[in-house]
Amino acid sequence: MPCPGFASCNAPLIDGHARRVTYLRVSVTDRCDLRCVYCMSEQMSFLPKRDLLSLEELDRLCSAFIGRGVRKLRLTGGEPLVRRDVRELFRMLSCHLASGALDELTLTTNGTLLSRHAADLAAAGVKRVNLSLDTLDPARYRAITRWGNLGKVMEGIAAVQEAGIRVKINAVALKGVNEHEIPDLVTWAHAHDMDITFIEVMPLGDVGADRDDQFLSLAKVRRDLAQRFTLTPSAHDSGGPARYLDVAETGGKIGFITPLSHNFCESCNRVRVTCTGHLYTCLGHEEGADLRAALRGSEADDRLHAAIDHALANKPKGHDFVIDRRGAATLPRHMSVTGG
């Protein structure tokens, strides 16, 4: 049964380099209950509520993309679960899973609020979540997040697993911070039936720290892990930018997302929309389109689709992330605004 008012469009989403877009990440808020040192400054200024897309606008926008062939939808933030009405949004979007128009509805979360949302997420058809966790040490966790409580995250993991939702851990590799802990993170994650993906720190936004001090190449991480584990290339494909290895000793997988040391753009199938409705066709570029104006300017979706098509035609072939000699960010916008 299709969603109310849902209309499929025959024109698939094809960018200017003949790549088909089937994966959409949508930020529902720029706010977060943590202040991770690689993501935000300690004193952040957040957007006024009027600038954010409403629940109805988010549903309409996502449905427009699904109608044109998006098969995987991820809700992000900030921290998506801090948005008060996010449960209702998951409920609204779940009809696309029931109709078969959407293969997967998921989210990226820091896990602090998962325990109270686990049942609602499962009821909406969420089968998997990506959870950001960089350390298993409570003191180090508090230092990285500036005030987080690791115990709440562990409670959240237990709650969603109990609800039948799989968890994949995302860990940012930070030089001199969690570098020595990476093998233990792998062992712990696999022991709890969770795959883990490591991510290089991305040069987005002023976070009050030197990016060069934070950056740890995943090429080095992989070499170090190979001293501890037997690693072989995996055929697994999550639909995202990660490349995976199988770990013989644990039976699990390790993913690597390498925006700096290895450009992963040749097979890019995704775009991002911010909580204000700005479409970014590439994480590493500022070009895109204002979809909020299209949504609010007409009750029909003609303007919305025209804006999407124009942006996709100009989607860059790849990003060129770099940390400059001052250790500064390539782009001024924060990851929390862009959507993880």
In tens, the pLDDT along 12-64 reads: 999 988 999 999 999 999 999 999 988 888 888 899 999 999 999 999 999 99
Is 2 a member of any domain? no
Query: Taking 50 as the threshold, does the pLDDT of residue 330 lie above it?
Result: no
- Confidence at 316, pLDDT banded by 50, 70, 90: confident
Domain membership of residue 223 (yes or no) is: yes
Does residue 9 lie in a domain region? no
Q: Domain for residue 113, yes or no?
A: yes
Distance (Å, rounded) from C-alpha 215 to C-alpha 261? Answer: 10
Q: What percent of the chain has pLDDT over 70?
A: 85
For residue 44, is it within any domain? yes
Over 90: is that where the pLDDT of 183 sits? yes
Looking at residue 108, which CATH number applies to its domain?
3.20.20.70
Residue 329: which pLDDT band, with cuts at 50, 70 and 90? very low
pLDDT of residue 4: 75
Per the listing, tokens 């449960």 go with: 87
Question: Structural domain of residue 234, as residue ranges?
Answer: 23-338
Question: Residue 235 domain-assigned?
Answer: yes
3-state secondary structure of 97: helix
Q: How confident is the model at residue 328 (pLDDT cuts 50, 70, 90)?
A: very low
Looking at the predicted structure, is the pLDDT value of residue 8 above 90?
A: no
Q: Is 16 inside any structural domain?
A: no
Please report the pLDDT score of residue 323 as a whole number. Answer: 42
For 84-96, the pLDDT digits (tens) are 999 999 999 999 9
Comparing 57-71, 101-115, 198-212, which segment has the lowest mean pLDDT?
198-212
For the chain, what is the domain count?
1
Kindly provide the residue ranges of all beta strands, DSSP E only, lying in 70-194, ordered along the sequence: 72-76, 104-109, 128-132, 166-173
pLDDT of residue 61: 97
- Cα separation, 102 vs 93, in Å, equals 9
Residue 164: its pLDDT value, please? Answer: 98
| Spatial CA neighbour of 131 closest among 64, 197, 187, 60 | 197
Contact 132/111 with Cβ under 8 angstroms?
A: yes
The H or E element containing residue 246 is: strand 243-247
Bigger pLDDT: 258 vs 110: 110
Collapsing DSSP to helix, strand or coil, 272 comes out as strand
pLDDT tens-digit series, residues 129-161 = 999 999 999 999 999 999 999 999 999 999 999
How confident is the prediction for the chain on average, in pLDDT? 88
Cα distances (angstroms) measured from residue 95 to each of 28, 92, 105, 170, 326: 19, 6, 10, 28, 48
Domain assignment of residue 124, yes or no? yes
Instruction: Place 101 in a pLDDT band, splitting at 50, 70 and 90.
Output: very high
